[in-house]
Copies of this chain bind each other. A is one copy, B any other.
Amino acid sequence: MSLLIKDVLVGQSVEDILIEGNRIQQISTGIQVDADEVLDGSGKAAIPSFINGHTHAAMVLLRGHADDMPLDEWLNNKIWPIESHLTEEDVYWATRFACLEMVKSGTTFFNDMYWYYHGVARAVEDAGIRSAVSAVFIDLFDEGKAAEQIELNQRLFDETSQYSSRVHFALGPHAIYTVSTRSLEWARSFAEEHNVFIHTHLSETRSEVDECQQRFKKRPVEYLHDIGLLGPNLIAAHVIWVNDREIELLKEHQVQVIYNPTSNMKLSAGIFPYERLKKAGINIALGTDGCASNNNLDMLEEMKFGALLQKLGEENPAALPAAEVFQLATSKAGSAFRLEAGELREGMLADLLLIDLNEVHLIPHHDLLNNLVYSAQSSSVDTTICDGKILMKHRVIEDEEEVKQKAQEVARDLLQR
């Protein structure tokens, strides 16, 4: 299967892009090939598709259900009671719908943590995008629950072989306040043995740090360091309340850090210390978090929130400029997840977008990256390609209506249980 995109803007020049199988084979002018499919790229710009570094995709079912509430009340009275009624089929359709929203806004990889691993994995498989899928691992410091979770994760790891290479298994120990030290130690050794990612929430709120200090007499990153969890396989979401010593440790162990500006603002978590982490040389990527705390999965919007929140926090309009936040959503996220994606280069995975330069938010054409970050919306994405396959063409996705209808049905039904 080959796909030729003709006359598309790549950086500053008009090029052709040849995709063979699931890879970018060639980027140059005047490619003469008898491709299986040809796309006219004129009036469009090709960019790498987006990588969402941290989310709970299926939470799209709860979009708009409970907003403007304190975190505890929100979790205890709204989110958790509803989630206790979820089925794998709900999670499948919710994640299908989340994938639909992602494809429509140009995201082709997401790092997920949620219930019903196979519901998520099947949805990713069917939607045609990529994901690091992790089951929420919570043992509440109970040995019996810990044993169950460990057994479950061992099984899920083995069962992941039934899916294509687009589905990556990851471990999802929820946070240090919900998972025992012993389970975290198990996660470390399992992740090392099988070379999989560990996806966790870390230092999101001040109270998390306070509790950790009371419980373990050390700060969260120090605690994780002491039990050996810090390493390049650790994907740590949030990381807001860290001191200089903790930043050093994160750098020393090459932890991947995910910045979730919209969620951090909506839940009043605080301002991510981007400049301090960047200065230390830590690799940072961008994530939307789940739809119950955002409430969408749009990486274009996330880039704008991400850049503007830093300008506000640093009291410097030059902080986190457009080209840099674009990297957090593409190339730096590619590095974090060791994907050969996030850049438009020959040999990379064919995960890319065609942006409609005639869309109202992208006119005039002074600077594409500025326009994408500060003005564009998902309607600016014309075509989404993942793994060499066209998932959306001129904003049309084949099964859009079916997926929307199922998601709506499942959401309605869930709230009546």
Interface, chain A (partner B; CB < 8 A): 61-65, 67-71, 74, 97, 100-101, 104, 262, 264-268, 270-271, 291, 294-296, 298, 301, 305, 307-309, 311-312, 314-319, 321-322, 358, 360-361, 363-368, 370-371, 374-375, 377-379, 404, 407-408, 411-412, 415
In the complex, the answer to whether A312 meets B271 with C-beta atoms within 8 Å is: yes
In the bound complex, how far is the Cα of B56 from the Cα of A211, in angstroms?
Answer: 49
In the bound complex, how far is the Cα of B360 from the Cα of A408, in angstroms?
Answer: 10
In the complex, the answer to whether A317 meets B69 with C-beta atoms within 8 Å is: yes
Q: Which applies to chain A's interface (DSSP): helix, strand, loop or mixed?
A: helix
Q: How far is the CB of A70 from chain B (nearest CB, A)?
A: 6
Partner of A360, one of B61, B100, B301, B360: B100
In the complex, the answer to whether A266 meets B412 with C-beta atoms within 8 Å is: no
In the complex, the answer to whether B62 meets A317 with C-beta atoms within 8 Å is: no
In the bound complex, how far is the Cα of B407 from the Cα of A311, in angstroms?
Answer: 29
In the complex, the answer to whether B358 meets A404 with C-beta atoms within 8 Å is: yes
A sample of 28 inter-chain contacts (CB < 8 A) reads A62-B366, A63-B363, A64-B368, A64-B371, A64-B374, A67-B321, A67-B367, A70-B316, A97-B360, A101-B360, A104-B360, A264-B312, A265-B311, A265-B312, A266-B317, A267-B311, A291-B375, A294-B374, A295-B371, A295-B375, A301-B301, A301-B377, A309-B312, A364-B411, A364-B412, A365-B408, A365-B411, A379-B379
CB-nearest residue of chain B to A400: B360
Contacts of A311 in B (CB 8 A): 265-268
In the complex, the answer to whether B67 meets A268 with C-beta atoms within 8 Å is: no
Contacts of A100 in B (CB 8 A): 360
In the complex, the answer to whether A63 meets B408 with C-beta atoms within 8 Å is: no
Contacts of A308 in B (CB 8 A): 262, 265-266, 305
Q: How far is the CB of A102 from chain B (nearest CB, A)?
A: 10
Known: A69-B317, A360-B404. A295 touches B370 (CB 8 A): yes
